[in-house]
Structure 1
Amino acid sequence: MMDNASLLVVEDEPKIARLMADYLTTHGFEVTTLDHGDHVMPWLAKQAPSLILLDLMLPGKDGLTLCREIRQQWPHIAIIMVTAKVEEVDRLLGLELGADDYICKPFSPREVVARVKAVLRRSQAAAEPAPPAAGNAPVTLDEDGWQALANGQDLGLTAVEFQLLRVMMQAPGRIFSREQLMDHMYRDNRIVSERTVDSHIKKLRKKIHEALPELEIIRSVYGVGYKYQPEG
């Protein structure tokens, strides 16, 4: 299913870009490389890659700015951030940016391929249709557009927030622990703090509350986790 997937490598160091492109190509991926941040958004307006390997430090627009802009316009495109700054890792895990994963330099080409395949598997799993919502459900999901709608209003969720809501909506009333939610969100067994889930939940609840101030449909169960409860 991942064969011939289209990838975009955004890297301004020619040797690294060539290394990643050559190795990914030998594993069946179609790879395009760009070396300047200002070229990314115009290219994406005409192309639709499955995944982007996005370097943090670029001439022109930097990787963080690009990640935000890509998430706003094309939330379905998977993003792996690439950085030589280990201290940036916590920021790259996606609390605000919505990046799907990160790779630290120096890296092995084999690691790059493994991360790409893992992220693509998660993206494909997230794209599987969710069970149909009840006709009077306060929130509905538009799977094709990666949108959550409250009374027809787009909640403006990030890709990670959308996946989190989707998981809980598949089992209304079920209590999900933070660990279970992380397993659904990060299927490559990445080590992520439970505070990451809390941060996503907080932002998700805020967006829902702004659209539906009279309802509390994502509820905390003290000491256990969270559940989607559309009814009172």
Structure 2
Amino acid sequence: MPARILIAEDDRKNADLVRRFLEREGHVTAIVYDGRAAIEEARRCRPDLLVLDLMLPHVDGLDVCRVLRSEPSGGTEIPIIMLTARASEDDLLVGLALGADDYLTKPYSPRELVARVRTVLRRSARSTAAVPEVYRVGDLAIDTARHEVRAAGRAVETTPAEFNILACLAASPGRAFTRQLLLEHVSGFGRDATGRTIDVHVMNLRRKIEPVPTRPRYLLTVYGVGYKLAEEQQPDAAAEVPAPERPGRWDAS
């Protein structure tokens, strides 16, 4: 399905190349060339996906992601694919910790980016399919029909990747999933992803849903295996240590 995709890239030649490849797929695109404009355009238009370069002027990509993910008015719902020339694992983990859904290092093939975009959009669109009803355990409720998570009656804002991990685990409560299996089920992380990718998302989820993140009651570790969602409330679970340029116009031509 066609999507509205915002491209935040200060290299105009590369931005135009990405735009042309995405529009061949039928998507509608807009381009901005600095981080401040990316935040403003994302707030204004609420795109279906943001392709975000990290090395942006005025406000870098990590801060763009941090700002959008902290806003309760919809920024948490925008899937984000980060692009960067930085290839270290630390950069990858920082980006994922801030809520990025995928991460691509330069140089990359535009066709690979298009494939990642397709996967992230598909994953976001199908995120309600894993569990056909509300799954509840203790004070935690995962409503896949409404794409909502509530903890102790409080609405919890999750990124698309975080919600999909919860939905995947909720489809088989009590079943232990390896990190690799979660990477395969919640696809779209790409070749740079490792088991640490899942660990970072789980750590972020626990901060949001667990009364005491270091003593999880819902999202449990299966030592030597991976993770599972509790089948029932487990209060005694073992502790774990665990001046910008004007935005480019939206254009389907």
1:124 aligns with 125
Pairing 1:98-117 to 2, within 5 Å after superposition = 98-117=99-118
Pairing 1:1-232 to 2, within 5 Å after superposition = 2=1, 4-73=2-71, 74-87=75-88, 90-92=90-92, 94-128=95-129, 130-133=131-134, 137-143=138-144, 146-187=147-188, 190-210=191-211, 216-231=217-232, 232=234
- 146-155 or 11-20, larger mean C-alpha shift: 146-155
Gaps of 5+ in 1: none
Question: In the alignment, is the contact (CA less than 8 A) between 2:85 and 2:105 conserved in 1?
Answer: yes
Tell me how far apart the structure 2 counterparts of residues 77 and 155 of structure 1 sit (CA, whole Å).
15
Give the direction of change, closer, same or farther, for the CA distance of 1:91–1:215 in structure 2 (3 Å limit): closer
**SS of aligned partner of 1:85:** coil
Structure 2 letter corresponding to 1:116: V
Tell me how far apart the structure 2 counterparts of residues 66 and 77 of structure 1 sit (CA, whole Å).
12
**SS of aligned partner of 1:86:** coil
**SS of aligned partner of 2:36:** helix
**SS of aligned partner of 2:172:** coil
Q: What do the CA deviations read for 1:149-186 (whole angstroms, capped 9, x no partner)?
A: 11211344443332222211222222222221121223
Give the direction of change, closer, same or farther, for the CA distance of 1:75–1:143 in structure 2 (3 Å limit): farther
Structure 2 letter corresponding to 1:122: R
Quote the sequence identity (%): 39
TM-superposed CA distance for 1:31, in Å, is 0.9
Tell me how far apart the structure 2 counterparts of residues 82 and 91 of structure 1 sit (CA, whole Å).
11
The structure whose RCO (Cα within 8 Å, separation 6+) is larger is 2
TM-superposed CA distance for 1:92, in Å, is 3.1
Question: In the alignment, is the contact (CA less than 8 A) between 2:103 and 2:189 conserved in 1?
Answer: no
Q: How large is the Cα RMSD of the aligned pairs?
A: 2.8
Structure 2 letter corresponding to 1:139: L
TM-superposed CA distance for 1:23, in Å, is 2.1
Question: In the alignment, is the contact (CA less than 8 A) between 1:36 and 1:59 conserved in 2?
Answer: yes
TM-superposed CA distance for 1:55, in Å, is 0.8
Question: In the alignment, is the contact (CA less than 8 A) between 1:56 and 1:64 conserved in 2?
Answer: yes
Tell me how far apart the structure 2 counterparts of residues 66 and 98 of structure 1 sit (CA, whole Å).
11
Q: TM-score, normalised by structure 1?
A: 0.84
- 179-188 or 126-135, larger mean C-alpha shift: 126-135
